[in-house]
Amino acid sequence: MRLRGLDLILTYKCTGRCVHCCYRAGPGSEETMSVAEVTAYLAAVADQPLEWILLFGGEPFTCYDLLRECVALAAPLARVLVFTNGSWATGPDTARQRLAELQAAGLDHILFSVDCFHQAHVPLERIAIGIEAARELGYRTIEVDNRYLGTPEMDNPFNHRTQAIMERLERLCDLEGINVVRGPVRMVGRAADALSPYLAARSTPPAKCPLPDYLGGDLRAPTGVEIHPGGWVNLCAGLALGNVRQRPLDKILADYEPEAHPIIRVLLQEGPPGLLGLAQQRGYSPAQGYVDGCHLCYEVRRFLRPFYPDHLAPAHPYLEPGGPSRQGYNRESA
Ligand code: SF4
């Protein structure tokens, strides 16, 4: 596998517990990488044609010292990006100090999550403070990432709220030169439980895995992987290629054979509907419907986990930590 991008989920810990989070991050999730682990991962990909390394979580500022060290370790290898919910930007001085330290470590690209899901947990004023601080410090790229339910154009209360939040953000700070990225929530993890009921089920889910662009868009030749706390190397959340605690990362990447992976092989040949057939052979009863192929894929993978413990891991995207795996969504909280 030739990597253009590497995603490091530094921690599952987060200040929020967003209903759309595919990793089910939250305040109670303590699992976090160590500096030694990140050092080893970066050494293992030093020969890869890496263009970017994304540091995120969970909320990476909850382990700020680790984040700063990781920026410094990653910066010599590739462009470093940090994805944050901005909750740490409690005031201009704090925000400037944090971002200046990261900048000194080699960061010049930061992405702030802004939408109805995040703003149920993070005051919008903090995003404005964070953006202004990054601009003052001369960060080369400042981005705002909006997740929408369905497509951004879809008419639903979640998307209306996100649009209203963006209008308010424009009043709170100058968005000139800020890149706004708009995309759909993926129906994986907590989103599948909490948000899929708000979308219409499709009678025929797509027969192709729409692997995200940042992973290369093609299961046959992915160009990115994400590494979780605990060492699991994933393509999509919960779809494992191996664990670095059992096999070195460079070997996991070099040995990637899509046709030899029992889940990826089916996804390649038949798409998510093929996984449904695999699960039905094991006694799975299909749900009433699935809103898209990823929803189908995720639900079926969750059922199949006990049969493929080395290929459908880690548990975090599948199980709500310390609670029921199927949380309802409280509209009031957004
Ligand atoms: S959820 Fe399944 S179908 Fe969707 S991108 Fe991930 S692996 Fe592919």
DSSP E strand boundaries for 51-96? 52-56, 79-84
- Ligand 1 centroid–CA 308 distance in Å is 16
Q: Ligand 1: which of 236, 270, 290, 308 to mutate, most ligand atoms within 8 Å of CB?
A: 236
| Domain of 54, in residue numbers | 5-333
Whole-angstrom Cα Rg for the chain:
19
**Cβ atoms 157, 117 nearer than 8 A:** no
Write down the pTM of the prediction.
0.94
pLDDT at res. 205: 74
Whose alpha carbon is nearest atom 6 of ligand 1? Answer: 236
The pLDDT of residue 330 is above 70 = no
From 234, 263, 270, 298, the mutation candidate for ligand 1 (largest count of ligand atoms within 8 A of CB) is 298
Model confidence pLDDT, tens digit, residues 266-290: 999 999 999 999 999 999 999 888 9
Using alpha carbons, select from 52, 59, 143, 63 the residue that is nearest to residue 106. 52
Q: How many domains does the chain have?
A: 1
In this prediction, residue 323 has a pLDDT band, given cuts at 50, 70 and 90, of low
Residue-wise pLDDT for 284-316, tens only, equals 999 888 999 999 999 999 999 999 999 999 999
In contact, 284 and 263? CB cutoff 8 Å: no
Count of other CB atoms within 10 angstroms of residue 270: 16
The end-to-end CA distance of the chain, in Å, is 40
Which numbered atom of ligand 1 lies nearest the CA of 301?
Answer: 2
> Is the per-residue pLDDT at 329 higher than 50?
no
pLDDT for the residue numbered 202: 86
pLDDT tens column, 178-202: 999 999 999 999 999 999 999 999 8
Q: What confidence tens digit (pLDDT) does each residue in 231-265 have?
A: 999 999 999 999 999 999 999 999 999 999 999 99
Cα–Cα distance between 207 and 291 in angstroms, integer? Answer: 13
Q: Where are the beta strands (DSSP E) in the chain?
A: 5-9, 52-56, 79-84, 109-113, 141-148, 179-184, 224-227, 232-234, 240-243
Angle between helices 64-74 and 92-105 (to 10 degrees): 30
Q: Which uninterrupted H or E stretch holds 163?
A: helix 157-172
- Residue 331 is predicted with a pLDDT of 34
Q: What is the pLDDT of residues 37-93, one digit of tens each?
A: 999 999 999 999 999 999 999 999 999 999 999 999 999 999 999 999 999 999 999
Best mutation site among 196, 297, 299, 304 for ligand 1 pocket (most ligand atoms within 8 Å of CB): 297
> For residue 237, which atom of ligand 1 is closest to its CA?
6
- Ligand 1: which residues within 6 Å by Cβ? 188, 209-211, 236, 239, 267, 272, 293-294, 297-298
Q: What is the pLDDT of residue 324?
A: 53
Q: What is the CATH number of the domain that holds 34?
A: 3.20.20.70
Instruction: For strands 224-227 and 232-234, give the pairing.
Output: antiparallel
Residues 6 or more apart whose CB falls under 8 angstroms from that of 164 comprise none
Pocket-testing residue among 187, 269, 294, ligand 1, by greatest number of atoms within 8 A of Cβ: 294
254-263 own/partner pairs: CB under 8 Å, 24+ apart: 254/1, 256/1, 256/222, 258/219, 258/220, 261/311, 262/308, 262/311, 263/239, 263/301, 263/304, 263/308, 263/311, 263/312
Q: Whose CA is nearest to atom 5 of ligand 1?
A: 211
Residue of the CA atom closest to atom 1 of ligand 1:
294
